[in-house]
Structures are given as structure tokens and as C-alpha cells.
Amino acid sequence: MRQGKSMTALFLSLALLLTMLPGAAWAAETEELPEEAAVTEEATTETDEAQETSPESSVSGETEDDEASETEATEDEPAVVAEEDISTASEIVDSGSCGDDATYTLTSDGTLTISGTGDMTNWGSASQVPWYNYRSDIVEVVIEEGATSVGDYAFYYCKNLTSVSIPDSVTSFDGYGTFWFCTNLTSITIPDSVTSVGDSTFYHCVNLENITLGSSLTNISVYMFQECYALTSITIPDSVTSIGAGAFEDCTGLTSVTIGSGVTVIDASAFWGCSSLTDISLPDGLTTIEVNTFGKCTSLTSITIPDSVTSIGESAFYSCASLTDVYYSGSKSNWAAISIGSGNTYLTNATIHYGVEEPEHVYGSPVWTWASDYSTATATFTCTDGDDIQTVTATVTYEVTTAATYTAAGTGTYTATVTFNGKTYTDTKTVTIPMLVLTAPTITS
């Protein structure tokens, strides 16, 4: 029995010892576990990031060791930066070339920036413009210093465009239809560097109110501002020499136009349909008012025309029913010499105010009548209209021009002088003085 109890005690002791040994081992394992768990968690996190930035890794399903995971995680750091770059670059909607040395960038805020140097491309049609498909998104155009021209159709139908910035390096807008149908554009300044502008540049910019033209501009092109309904006034600089056909046609809000002294040509229909225009002064040097120039300017009440004008075309003042006064810098006879075409009844029926006053009648050169002995004379003046004749008695003087001698006759001159309408007229008659005759003396005794 005692031996049985001893064996039982021995088994219990061994069991207790075995119980204590695994407990210590578990405790040691528990102390090391947080470090291993941290490494495992970090590797797992980095692997997840790698999988997010590289969809190909998640599809492959390959299991990598901790060292490979750490390497991939390190390589993923630039990928995060690249993602930030993509976020910034995503603001660029479109970009490319728009000239030999010119480029463009369109950003998501609607700003189109033209950079580089030289001329922009002159595109053959609007659809060839590289940003054509984004034209409704463009709200601002910035042309940077270095560009020298703006191309054909460049901003055609950019209906939401409100702001345009043009640098001094640009010298021409020779392109056709540059700002066609930019219906929300309200103002623009053409810098002093620009010398020429192409046809129909601002056609149907219906809300364009303010235009500043540079001091080097030489032309207002054909249909340049046609149908700019909101335009109320414009000043054309002295550098401009010509205004093209239809340049301001149907600018129904235009009330004031100042034309510079350099303009010598105003082409047909230049101001046709400017129904709010009330008066205008044409510059000295203009020789012709072309066909339909002021047709349908229904509010036009007065116009100043220089005496340099020699012809007025057909219907130049068609339907100008309000025209009452014409201020002409020449005289009545100068006005009568102007060739005026048909369809200008309102012009010819207006009151003409002449800059040079003339007598009521215009007379030609006088016809002289002398007495038979030349002692008296009269001058008769006939009005060019044939409705008046004036006769004036002259003052007659006599002068011996060559004295007669015993060997030769002499001459004398009668001069008749009259003053009429501020002018002095003279006529002369030459007579012969007989040669002197020698007579014998009378001898008396």
C-alpha cells in the first residue's frame, strides 16, 4: 500500500513538472509574438498598398516573402507621387501644337493658353482647329508673349468665351473668322502692335460692347464687326486708312462713331442697318461715299461731308428718313459738282449747310461794252443760272504808251476797271496816235 502511494506521488510530481514546462515556453513565445505580429501586419499593409496601385499584382495571386513585400512597398512610394502628378495633370483637358513653334494647353477651368513663338496656323476650316471639340468649354484665352499672329477660325464659335488677353508681340489678326459667334465676349483690346485684322473677325459677337483699337491698325476689315448688336460706340484711330465693306453692318446699337483723319476709303454698306446711329462726321480726304454705305440708318439726322468728296453712290442714304441736315465743308457750287447716284432722295431733300459762303448768284466773266471814242465803258455780268444780269459802269483811264513823233505814230491805252462782288475786273483798248506833222511857219511882213 505504501508502495502504491509512493508511485502515485511520483506521477503527480511528474505531471506537475510537465505542466510547468509548457507554461514557460508559452510565456516566452507570448513575449516574442508582438514583434513578429508587427512585422507581419506591416508587410500585409504594404502588400495591400502595392495591390491597390498595381492591379496586375492582385490578379497574379503570387505569394511573396517578407523581403520581397518590403521591396515592393518601397517601390510603391514613387507610385504614390505619380498618382499625385496624375491628379495635377488631370486638370489639362487637351494640349498640342498650333503652329510651327506654338503650342496650346486647355485646362479644366476653361482657360486656353497659347504659348511659344511665331505665327499660329491658318486652319482651312473651323473643324481643323485642334481644340474645336472643346470650343464650348473655353471661357478664357491667354495668348502669351512671343506669338505673332492669330490663325483662321482660331476661336470660332467659342460661345462661352468671356475674356481674351493679347500680347504686344502679336502684329496681325489676318485670320478669317477668328472670333466668329463668340456670343458671350463683351470686351476686347487690340494692342498697338497689331497692324492688320482679317475679314469677319468679330462677326456675330452679339454681346461685344467695348472695343479698343490699337494705334498701329491700318484697316477695319470686311464685315469685321457685322452684327455686333451690343456695340454702342467706337473710335477708329488715325492710323486706319480704310473701312471695309459691311464692317459695321447691322450694328443696331451703335450710336457714336469717331472716324480718324487717316481714313480715305469707306466701302459699300460699311454702316448699313446701324439703326441707332444719329450723326456722323466723315474725314477730310474721303473722295467717295460708296453704294449703300448708310442705307437703313433710320435714326440718322445729320452728317458732315468734306469737300474732298466727289461722288456719292447709289442708295448710299437709302431709307434714311430722319436725315434733315447735311454739313458740307465746300461751297454750293462744289456741292452741285458732286456726282450723286439714284436712291438718295433723303440726302438731296435735306438742308445743305455750306462751309464756304457764296453770293446768292454765281456770275461768269463780264462782257465789256465801249463807247466809240473809248471814253466810257460798261461791264455786264450774267448769273450762271441765267436768272440774273448785272451791268456796271467802269472807270476809264488813258495812258500814252508810245509817244508819236514826226517820223512814227504812237500808241495809247484806255483801261476800264470795275469792282463786282468783291472782285476787280479790267479791260483795255489800244489806240494809235497819229504821227506828228511838220508845218511851215507863217511869215508876216
Q: In the numeric block, which cell numbers belong to residue 124?
A: 482651312
Torsion angle (degrees, nearest 10) of CA 57, 59, 64, 66: 60
pLDDT tens over the chain, length 445 residues: 444 444 544 454 554 444 444 443 333 333 333 333 333 333 333 333 333 333 333 333 333 344 434 434 344 443 433 333 433 444 999 999 999 999 999 999 999 999 999 999 999 999 999 999 999 999 999 999 999 999 999 999 999 999 999 999 999 987 788 999 999 999 999 999 999 999 999 999 999 999 999 999 999 999 999 999 999 999 999 999 999 999 999 999 999 999 999 999 999 999 999 999 999 999 999 999 999 999 999 999 999 999 999 999 999 999 999 999 999 999 988 999 999 999 999 999 999 999 987 667 788 899 999 999 999 999 999 987 777 899 999 999 999 999 988 889 999 999 999 999 889 999 999 999 998 887 777 777 6
Angle between helices 2-53 and 66-89 in degrees, nearest 10: 30
CA–CA separation, 324 and 314 (whole Å): 19
Whether the pTM exceeds 0.85: the reply is: no
User: From its phi and psi, is residue 75 left (phi > 0), alpha (psi between -120 and 50) or beta?
Assistant: alpha
Count CB atoms within 10 A of the CB of residue 29: 10
Q: Are strands 410-420 and 423-433 parallel, antiparallel or unpaired?
A: antiparallel
